[in-house]
Amino acid sequence: MGKKVAPSQSTGLDGVTQTTVEANGVMLGVERFGDATASLVLLAGGPTMLSWPDALCAALARGERHVVRYDLRDSGASTTLDPKAPAYTLRDLAADCAALARELDDRPAHLAGIGVGGMVAQVAALDHPDAFSALTLAGTRPVAPGRVDDDLPDHDKATMERLFSRSMPDWSDRAAVAEHAAAVAEILGDDPAAARRTAGRIWDRTPGTNPAVQMANQMGLVFSKLNCRPRWRERLRELAIPTSVVHGRRDPFFPVGNAEALAREIPDARLLVLERAARAIPDAAAGEVATAMLAR
């Protein structure tokens, strides 16, 4: 269990430690909640680990789980090379995920992915079935970034026009980045105040001398360049582990029809639609989502 783990550091949250773990030849930034001897729930960030709310992590830990959320490559405390020109694919990110699960625990993990992390989680569960015992997919869809199948709803056009009409902030200015995130959240239907706080935390933990590059990555710009061949959507029926699909009813970025497609195509998947949520999982829904995950 956890053979290549850097010294732990407190995050300021009760019972939570922050470390880095070597997996698949890269260092991945992780945060741990709960008892390390309990069953592992591994939360793949979307791409930053802070895409997963503290309230949900804490609720899972109270359910007697060892909860670990982590940053994907080129995000947060994980290995950063050139986020604007990644030399890897979603399949490589999936291999990172499986390797991390094996480093943290000898037993199969409950894997959860949110946003792009949900795409990583689908490929990881398909490519590395022995590493995972259950799967949760939140706010994601069954195809790679940059393309949409004809039967899937695409981004809401009016919302995208509002988003892309905004100018980018000065990524080296913490306050400007936080305000930009709040404005984006308001457009998407999320809580601006929560988004402002999270963006500040992401900025604070972005290492290196060029926060602009990593912050741009964490807003999702780099993932339009990633793909996965062969396509994994056609393989979803191969999944043989309990699966939950969680999605906000009001999500204009990946409309809820994407979640409905996942739930139809994954055998025996359960769909949980958060009626008042958009892109982010609100703290008010943390208990409901945790209950669904703990039941799997």
Tell me: the pLDDT tens digits for 146-182? 778 999 999 999 999 999 999 988 888 899 999 999 9
Q: At what angle do helices 192-204 and 174-188 cross, to 10 degrees?
A: 140
- The confidence score (pLDDT) of residue 228 equals 75
Work out the percent of the chain whose per-residue pLDDT is above 90: 73
**Residue 9: partners with Cβ closer than 8 Å, 6 or more residues away:** 17, 18, 19
Q: Does 250 have pLDDT greater than 50?
A: yes
pLDDT of residue 7 exceeding 50, the answer is no
Q: Tell which wins on pLDDT, 11 or 94.
A: 94
Summarize the confidence of residues 103-124 as an average pLDDT: 96
State the pairing for strand pair 16-23/26-33.
antiparallel
- Cβ–Cβ < 8 Å for 240, 132: no
User: Do the Cβ atoms of 16 and 241 come closer than 8 Å?
Assistant: no
Whether residue 6 has pLDDT greater than 70: no
Alpha-carbon distance 105 to 239, whole Å?
Answer: 21
| pLDDT confidence tier of residue 213, bands split at 50, 70 and 90 | low
Determine the pLDDT at residue 13.
62
CATH architecture of 9-154+209-215+222-294: 3-Layer(aba) Sandwich (3.40)
Rounded Cα distance, 120 and 209, in Å: 28
pLDDT at 36 over 80: yes
Is the pLDDT at 2 greater than 50? The verdict is no
| pLDDT higher than threshold 60 for residue 51 | yes
All structural domains of the chain with their residue ranges? 9-154+209-215+222-294
Contacts for 288-291: CB closer than 8 Å, 24+ residues apart? 289/56, 289/59, 289/138, 289/246, 290/56, 290/59, 290/60, 290/63
- For 224-239, b where at least 16 C-beta lie within 10 A, e where not — what string? eebebeeebbebbeeb
Radius of gyration of the chain (CA): 17
| DSSP 3-state of 28 | strand
Q: Which uninterrupted H or E stretch holds 198?
A: helix 192-204
pLDDT of residue 8 exceeding 70: no
Q: Which is nearest to 96 in space by CA: 86, 176, 290, 160?
A: 86
Residue 187 has pLDDT above 50, yes or no: yes
Concatenated DSSP letters for 251-274? -SSS-THHHHHHHHHSTT-EEEEE
Give the C-alpha separation, 260 to 269, whole Å. Answer: 10
Return the pLDDT at 4.
46
| 261-286: b (≥16 Cβ within 10 Å) or e | bbbeebeebebbebeebbbbbbeebb
Contact 251, 273 (CB under 8 A): no
Closest CA to 296 of 138, 134, 88, 79: 134
Q: Is the pLDDT score of 212 beyond 60?
A: no
Report the pLDDT value the prediction gives residue 65, as an integer from 0 to 100. 98
What pLDDT shows up at residue 86?
76
Task: Report the largest interatomic distance among the alpha carbons of the chain, rounded to a whole angstrom.
Answer: 48
- pLDDT-derived band at 15 (thresholds 50, 70, 90) equals low
The share of the chain scoring above pLDDT 70, in percent, equals 87
The residue among 18 and 263 whose pLDDT is bigger is: 263
Does 191 score more than 80 pLDDT? yes
Bridge partners of residue 43, in order along the sequence: 69, 112
Tokens of 91: 């399949």
